[in-house]
């Protein structure tokens, strides 16, 4: 049996999304920048997708720009937002994705900004009093980058509250929404945010495509220069088939969101309770209450054991795919920066299990049984 529980890293491509993409691949091959009929036809496909995405987010189509994925979108928001608005002070947390932390640290190293890290507690929650102190620290405008849900431990941040604070102190607010786009509803006409981002492969869409939302009140210059694509905001011929897949995946996610959330939350809660019953001394990283935690992620710290570094390998041998942290850091011997930031015991092996609409209770039962076997052998 093969069980895929690494959906926070990437999700399986939905067959309906593939079908939609294939129809365009097969018949609509013109360059969308060409003015002839073949080009105009493809341009229409892209703009239809843009309207679909914008409509779901209650945004204007002119606020949606397609990118190669979440990392590019994060970099664009951070680098262009800071440089073009001449901002010298940025605030983030040590639990952000490396696409955010590394970008800001590189800018600080180049002496472009002063970077501050807001405190987080042992569950990964933002210290809002400290955030306000940091916003008050500089008389000039600040740039705040805080994610909606942590990709490793699943803790949700009250981004409405962050937005209110940013508005109070006239700060630009960038929110990494890669893990929650298509899993929660975002009303961008009400949320006080300047930038949000998406990677299609996190919601059963294709890899290599995403988007950035740029609030119409914010003006920035392109990060990638070339042609006049994306209304002069991103050079390079558009990933037409990816864009079509992204829009279809978003559309499907929104139409079935409540049903899928209930199903996935049930699987997560069931796995948590079964682990507590069967593995003495087990702990969970991040928030686990349903209203405070991303329902697709369960991060588990197992008891100290012999050959703890082999836990993921043994699970893989048993046919179970999971992650030891952020997939973007897999293959390195550096521990998770998120688990380190919240003070998790480094001697306890931690595994992130992440779920999708395609997972079943039978898969969870199989996984629990294999975990019991592995823990018994290594006890």
What domains, with CATH codes, occur in the chain? 3-12+256-378 (3.90.1150.10), 15-255 (3.40.640.10)
Beta strands in 56-153 (DSSP E): 64-67, 89-93, 114-118, 142-145
> How many angstroms separate the CA atoms of 69 and 86, rounded?
26
Task: Give this prediction's pTM.
Answer: 0.95
pLDDT for position 379: 55
Angle at 204 between CA 311 and CA 148, to 5 degrees: 75
Residue 374 is predicted with a pLDDT of: 83
Q: Which two tokens stand for residue 320?
A: 């179970």
Which helix (H) or strand (E) element contains residue 82? helix 81-84
Q: What is the dihedral of CA 317, 15, 211, 51, to 10 degrees?
A: -160
- 163: which residues sit within 8 A by CB, 6+ positions away? 173, 191, 192, 193
Catalytic residue among 166, 175, 198, 328: 328
Is residue 198 part of the annotated active site? The answer reads no
- Mean pLDDT by runs of 10 across the 379 residues of the chain is 97 98 95 96 98 98 98 98 98 98 98 98 98 92 98 98 98 98 98 98 98 97 95 97 98 97 98 96 94 97 76 92 66 77 90 97 97 75
Q: Around Cβ 240, how many Cβ atoms within 10 Å?
A: 23
């Amino acid at each position: 049996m093969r069980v895929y529980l690494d959906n926070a890293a990437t999700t399986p491509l939905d067959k309906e999304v593939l079908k939609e993409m294939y129809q365009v691949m097969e018949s609509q091959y013109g360059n969308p920048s060409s003015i002839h009929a073949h080009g105009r036809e493809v341009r229409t496909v892209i703009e239809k997708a843009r309207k679909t995405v914008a409509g779901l987010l209650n945004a204007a189509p002119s606020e949606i720009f397609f990118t190669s994925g979440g990392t590019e979108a994060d970099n664009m928001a951070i680098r262009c937002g800071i440089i073009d608005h001449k901002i010298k002070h940025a605030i983030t947390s040590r639990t952000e994705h490396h696409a955010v932390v590394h970008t800001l640290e590189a800018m600080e190293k180049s002496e472009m900004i002063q970077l501050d890290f807001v405190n987080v507690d042992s569950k990964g929650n933002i210290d809002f009093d400290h955030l306000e102190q940091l916003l008050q620290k500089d008389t000039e405008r600040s740039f705040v980058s805080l994610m909606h849900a942590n990709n490793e431990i699943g803790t949700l941040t009250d981004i409405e509250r962050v937005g209110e604070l940013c508005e109070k102190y006239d700060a630009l607010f960038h929110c990494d929404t890669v893990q929650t786009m298509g899993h929660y509803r975002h009303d961008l006409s009400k949320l006080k945010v300047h930038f949000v981002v998406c990677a299609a492969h996190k919601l059963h869409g294709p890899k290599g495509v995403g988007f950035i939302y740029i609030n119409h009140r914010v003006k920035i210059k392109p990060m990638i220069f070339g042609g006049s694509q994306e209304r002069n905001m991103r050079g390079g011929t558009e990933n037409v088939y990816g864009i079509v897949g992204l829009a279809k995946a978003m559309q499907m996610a929104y139409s079935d969101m409540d049903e899928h959330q209930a199903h996935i939350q049930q699987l997560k809660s069931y796995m948590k309770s079964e682990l507590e019953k069967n593995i003495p001394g087990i702990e969970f990283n991040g928030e686990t209450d349903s209203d405070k935690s991303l329902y697709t992620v369960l991060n588990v710290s197992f008891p100290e054991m012999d050959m703890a570094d082999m836990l993921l390998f043994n699970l893989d041998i048993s046919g179970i795919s999971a992650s030891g942290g952020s997939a973007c850091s897999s293959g390195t011997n550096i521990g998770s920066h998120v688990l380190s930031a919240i003070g998790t015991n480094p001697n306890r092996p931690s595994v992130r299990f992440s779920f999708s609409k395609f997972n079943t209770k039978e898969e969870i039962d199989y996984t629990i049984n294999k975990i019991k076997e592995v823990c018994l052998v290594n006890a």
